[in-house]
Structures are given as C-alpha cells and as structure tokens.
Amino acid sequence: MAATQTQAPTGTAQRILDVAERLVQERGYNGFSYANVAGELGITKASLHYHFAGKAELGEALIDRYSARFGEALESIDATITVAGAKLEAYASLYADVLRGDRMCLCGMLASEYQTLPQPMRNSVIRFLDANTLWLTAVLARGRSEGTLSFDGSPTDAAQTVLGALQGAMLVARPYADPARFQAAAAYTLASLNGTPRPS
C-alpha cells in the first residue's frame, strides 16, 4: 500500500520494483514483461536480469515489499487506534486509497491469477492473505469481547468474510472507475459487524 514507508532496495532495483508494482496493479502479473519495465526506465533487459534473475524472482520481491508495507500500515493502525470498529474502517481505507490511484491490491490482483503463478509466488500470496486474516481475526475477536462488535460465527469466519468482501468490492468498482462503489460496499460490510443500521 502507499500509506507507509519501509526499507527497500535503492537505485535501479528500487525503480524496477516501483514500475513493476504499478504494472501488476494495473495489468496483472501476466500483463507485463521485462520489456515493458525496461522501456519505461530506459534501461536494458540485461540490467533487469542483473537485479532480478527472472520475472518470478521479481514477482517474489514485489510481494515481499508490498507485504512489508502493508504490515507496517497494520502496525500503525494498532498503534494509533484503539476502537475495533475504527480499526476496521482504517483497514478498509487502505484499499480505498489504492483504488483511488486506479490500481488494485497487489496480492488481490495476483490471487486472481493464482493458477498461472510460479509456486513461490503462490506461497507468498497465501502468506499475505493469511496475515491479513489473522490481523482481522484479532480485531474482530477483541471487538466482540469488548461488546463493540457483533457477528455470527467465529472471528476467523468473519475475518475471511471482510477480506473477501473488500477484495471483491475493489474488483467490482474498478470497471466503473468509481471508488464510491467500493466505499458503499465497505460501509455496508462493516456496518453489519457493529450492529448499526446498514447504509440504505
């Protein structure tokens, strides 16, 4: 996500990751090539291979960096927000910020191409989704124990529902170039957890 900064490669490697991340978020992993990245940066494909041996290695580096930034964003939410419902709203805002930039969640986009990804990248996508589910589960469990959230089933089931709803809402909103569609779906989903009337 664009919300936080983290340690990352510098110089050419950083620029390669920046361009490749945007291309994946806009086109998908199978929608760009080393030639696209090299062309945008004005460098040779050999230079790309010097920093990342192949597209699969570049893909893994992208997920690692994205996951680290997303993890930092979640840590920031935990450090600055105490109310469970507000944490969930801040979490949904991470997705909204990406969508407003006409991009998709990197790992959400990769999940849609899961069957075509190299196995190491598949594993990394699963780790990202699992980490998000664990964080959401903890927030939901705390909110229910404090009486600020109410939902049927286990916190893990609810967490998987929230994650799926937000990722799906991004996909549906994107063709319309209308972040408001995502915001409405996110608000509806979160309202179902805190006992307030759903938006009409």
Residue 194 pLDDT grade (very low, low, confident, very high; cuts 50, 70, 90): confident
DSSP assignment letter at 196 = S
Average pLDDT taken over every residue of the chain: 92
Average pLDDT, stretch 167-190? 94
pLDDT recorded at residue 196: 53
Please report the DSSP string for 118-156 in residue order: -HHHHHHHHHHHHHHHHHHHHHHHHHHHHTS---SS-HH
Average pLDDT, stretch 62-75? 97
Average pLDDT, stretch 127-134? 98
pLDDT digits (tens, 9 = 90+) for 80-119: 999 999 999 999 999 999 999 899 999 999 999 999 999 9
pLDDT recorded at residue 5: 40
CATH architecture of 55-194: Orthogonal Bundle (1.10)
The pTM (predicted TM-score) of the whole model is 0.89
Percent of the chain with pLDDT over 90: 89
CA nearest to 21, candidates 115, 117, 103: 103
Residue 163 pLDDT grade (very low, low, confident, very high; cuts 50, 70, 90): very high
| Helix%, strand%, coil% for the chain, nearest 5 | 75, 0, 25
pLDDT recorded at residue 7: 44
Percent of the chain with pLDDT over 70: 92
Residue 151: what are its φ and ψ, rounded to 5°?
Answer: -160, 155
DSSP assignment letter at 5 = -
Q: Is the pLDDT of residue 1 over 80?
A: no
Label residue 191 exposed, middle or buried (CB < 10 Å: 0-12, 13-18, 19+).
Answer: middle
Q: Is the pLDDT of residue 4 over 90?
A: no
Q: Is the pLDDT of residue 199 over 60?
A: no
- In a 13 Å sphere around the CA of 87, the CA atoms on its Cβ side amount to 26
pLDDT digits (tens, 9 = 90+) for 41-58: 999 999 999 999 999 999
Residues in the chain: 200
